[in-house]
């Protein structure tokens, strides 16, 4: 199903969509407030972007340096070209250690590899321990947001889910009660786990160590109790030096939720005595993306989720409508790289307003890359007729670079001048429930500045 069709489903419950929209906008505002309290915020973004550019241009050397340093500290390093190999490596480590129960903290990479179902058919229990992830796991759903996995669920839905699976009493969705019950439930799982799987936020070439960020402390509870720690990372998680963490940790949580830093920023450099630590370095299409000149900077993403919170389409269509591991603007750039046909509608799930690029802490030109994908897709993939019509008109507008050289400007022009019947056509289901965001004459920054003052 296309993104538009999925979005239509999400829009059936209007009250919920409105809540979703406003909740994420609220997070976006918290991000703004947090950013404005930091002296030199823009310089931090520039540095982060420049460091990531350096990383991509030396990625092979940094990975080798990372591997050497990690091995010196007794960490086992594995390499996986794709999801299947990654899952096999995890399974083998578990088999060797006779590990049957696994606790896992948030890791979009293991989602991408569909690790849980793979381990489950092999008789291994995998428990997601981030509260939001546990909620969606119990509901047998994928996360709908990379930072707020259960943002699409109401507290009443969580209540019913916990009654069924954790035996809680009805509480009309009391978050305090539900969280404390989840705490007890997960404590038990932590204490019984044989192995802990975590993601990696940053891997430092210079030291061979990794940093994992959580608010709940679930990664640490898992790792420090279990005998085995397996951390999965994409090849792009490398940063050159430990001091660069100063830059990225200042940006990450502020961009994600408006917190000044995550509660726990744990630095794992050496396993404790008698325990094993494994790191799996995964490609799964990333080297291919590295070779695409226009799209390679999408690999710089630090998974803060800010582009989702700010995106008018994401907020009103929900993460599941993207049918991709990473939803939202950045996901719409990453996913077509893995399967162009399957994800061909995603780069169209955007107004090209550019708000994503404005908030991105590593300054990825997200909306420009969305536009680039549209160019490729309209050439290579058959489009439904209605989209073609819109695109023809878009193409005409965008094509005239003298008049409308900048994509954002062109999109604004399109919204203003195309008849509503075309904009709110079937390709734009998110526009059905209400009118599209009002288009101002000013560019985004002017408008934004005005709004703030």
Partner 1 sequence: MSRESILSAIKKNKPEQVSLPEIDLGIFHEDVDLVETFSKNLESVGGRIVSFNRIEDLDAEIKKRYPNAKHIVSCSSESNLATMSISNETEPHSLECIDLVIIDAQVGVSENGAVWISDNDFIVRVLPFITNDLVLILSKKDICLHMHEAYNIISKRYRTFGLFLSGPSKTADIEQCLVIGAQGAVSLTVFLI
Residue 213 interacting with ligand SF4 (CB under 6 A): no
Site size for ligand SF4 (CB under 6 A): 15
| The token pair that represents 356 in the structure block | 């994503």
Q: Which is nearer to partner 1, 282 or 370 (CB)?
A: 282
Chosen from ligand SF4, partner 1, none, partner binding at 217 (C-beta under 5 to 8 Å by type): partner 1
Q: Which listed range, 40-48, 372-380, 390-398, 411-419, lies at the site for partner 1 (CB under 8 A)?
A: 40-48
Chosen from ligand SF4, partner 1, none, partner binding at 419 (C-beta under 5 to 8 Å by type): none
With CB under 8 A as the contact rule, the residue among 1, 50, 95, 381 that binds partner 1 is: 50
Q: Which is nearer to ligand SF4, 168 or 310 (CB)?
A: 310
Q: How far is CA 374 from the centre of its chain?
A: 21
Contact string (CB under 8 A) for partner 1, positions 368-407, x = contact: ----------------------------------------
* CB 374, min distance to ligand SF4, A: 18
Q: How far is CA 404 from the centre of its chain?
A: 31
Provide the β-strand partners of residue 127.
103
Chosen from ligand SF4, partner 1, none, partner binding at 224 (C-beta under 5 to 8 Å by type): partner 1
With CB under 6 A as the contact rule, the residue among 318, 361, 408, 431 that binds ligand SF4 is: 361
Q: Which of residues 83-122 bind partner 1 (CB under 8 A)?
A: 85
Q: In this structure, are residues 412 and 419 in contact, taking their beta carbons and an 8 Å threshold?
A: no
Going from the C-alpha of 315 to that of each of 28, 53, 152, 394, the distances in angstroms are 11, 30, 10, 23
Alpha-carbon dihedral of residues 225, 228, 232, 238, nearest 10 degrees? 80
Tokens 């930091």 appear where? 38
Chosen from ligand SF4, partner 1, none, partner binding at 154 (C-beta under 5 to 8 Å by type): partner 1
Contact string (CB under 6 A) for ligand SF4, positions 316-355, x = contact: --------------x-------------------------
Crossing angle of helices 41-57 and 59-72, rounded to 10°: 90
Q: Which of residues 277-316 bind ligand SF4 (CB under 6 A)?
A: 301-307
* CB 236, min distance to ligand SF4, A: 11
Q: Which of residues 7-26 bind partner 1 (CB under 8 A)?
A: 23, 26
* CB 299, min distance to ligand SF4, A: 10
Q: Which is nearer to partner 1, 175 or 384 (CB)?
A: 175
Residue 370 interacting with ligand SF4 (CB under 6 A): no
Q: Which listed range, 106-114, 335-343, 361-369, 385-393, lies at the site for ligand SF4 (CB under 6 A)?
A: 361-369
Chosen from partner 1, ligand SF4, none, partner binding at 148 (C-beta under 5 to 8 Å by type): partner 1
Tokens 């209400």 appear where? 434
Chosen from ligand SF4, partner 1, none, partner binding at 364 (C-beta under 5 to 8 Å by type): ligand SF4
Q: Which of residues 230-269 bind partner 1 (CB under 8 A)?
A: 235, 240, 242-243, 245-247, 249-250, 257, 259-269
CA distance 141 to 312: 23
| Dihedral sign from CA coordinates of 309, 315, 319, 321 | negative
* CB 298, min distance to ligand SF4, A: 7
Provide the β-strand partners of residue 232.
280
Chosen from ligand SF4, partner 1, none, partner binding at 337 (C-beta under 5 to 8 Å by type): none
Query: Could you please report the per-residue DSSP string of 328-390?
Result: HHHHHHHHHHH-TTTTTTGGGS-----HHHHH-TT---HHHHHHHHHHHHHHHS---HHHHHH
Q: How many CA atoms lie within 13 A of 393 on its CB side?
A: 15
Residue 360 interacting with ligand SF4 (CB under 6 A): yes
Query: Could you please report the per-residue DSSP string of 62-116?
Result: HHHHHHHHHHHTT-EEEEESSHHHHHHHHHHHHHHTT--EEEE---HHHHHTTHH
Provide φ and ψ at 276, rounded to 5°. Answer: -115, 140
Alpha-helical runs (H) found in 218-293: 218-225, 244-256, 286-290
Longest dimension (CA), the chain: 68
Residues that bind ligand SF4 (CB under 6 A): 255, 301-307, 330, 359-362, 364, 366
């Amino acid at each position: 199903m296309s993104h538009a069709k999925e979005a239509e489903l999400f829009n059936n419950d209007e009250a919920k969509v409105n809540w979703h929209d406003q909740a994420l906008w609220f997070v976006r505002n918290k991000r703004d407030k947090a950013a404005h309290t930091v002296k030199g915020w823009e310089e931090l973004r520039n540095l982060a972007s420049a460091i990531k550019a350096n990383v991509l241009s030396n990625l092979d050397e940094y990975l080798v340096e990372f591997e050497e340093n990690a091995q010196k500290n007794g960490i086992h390093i594995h390499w996986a070209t794709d999801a299947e190999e990654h899952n096999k490596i995890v399974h083998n480590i578990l088999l060797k250690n006779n590990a049957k129960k696994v606790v896992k903290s948030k890791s979009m990479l293991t989602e991408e590899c569909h690790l849980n179902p793979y381990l489950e058919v092999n008789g291994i229990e995998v428990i997601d321990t981030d509260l939001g992830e546990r909620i969606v796991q119990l509901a047998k759903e994928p996360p709908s947001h990379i930072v707020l996995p259960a943002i699409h669920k109401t507290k009443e839905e969580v209540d019913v889910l916990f009654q069924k699976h954790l035996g809680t009493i009805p509480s009309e969705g009391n978050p305090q009660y539900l969280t404390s019950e989840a705490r007890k439930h997960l404590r038990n799982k932590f204490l019984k786990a044989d192995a802990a799987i975590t993601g990696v936020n940053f891997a430092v070439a210079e030291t061979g160590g990794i940093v994992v960020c959580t608010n709940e402390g679930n990664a640490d509870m898992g790792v420090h109790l279990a005998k085995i720690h397996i951390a999965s990372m994409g090849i792009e998680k490398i940063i050159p030096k430990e001091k660069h963490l100063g830059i990225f940790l200042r940006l990450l949580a502020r961009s994600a939720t408006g917190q000044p830093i995550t509660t726990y920023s744990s630095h794992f450099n050496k396993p404790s005595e008698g325990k094993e630590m494994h790191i799996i370095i995964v490609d799964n299409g990333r080297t291919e993306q590295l070779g695409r000149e226009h799209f390679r900077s999408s690999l710089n993403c630090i998974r803060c989720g800010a582009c989702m919170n700010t995106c008018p389409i994401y907020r009103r269509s929900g993460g599941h409508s993207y049918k991709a591991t990473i939803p939202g603007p950045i996901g719409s750039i990453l996913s077509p790289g893995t399967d162009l046909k399957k994800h061909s509608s995603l780069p169209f799930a955007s107004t090209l307003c550019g708000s994503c690029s404005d908030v991105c802490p590593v300054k990825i030109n997200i909306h420009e890359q969305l536009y680039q994908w549209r160019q490729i897709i309209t050439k290579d993939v058959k489009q439904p007729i209605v989209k073609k019509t819109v695109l023809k008109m878009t193409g005409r507008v965008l094509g005239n670079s003298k008049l409308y050289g900048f994509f954002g400007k062109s999109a604004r022009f399109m919204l203003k001048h195309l008849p509503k019947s075309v904009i709110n056509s079937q390709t734009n289901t998110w526009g059905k429930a209400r009118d599209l965001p009002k288009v101002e004459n000013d560019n985004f920054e002017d408008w934004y500045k005005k709004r703030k003052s």
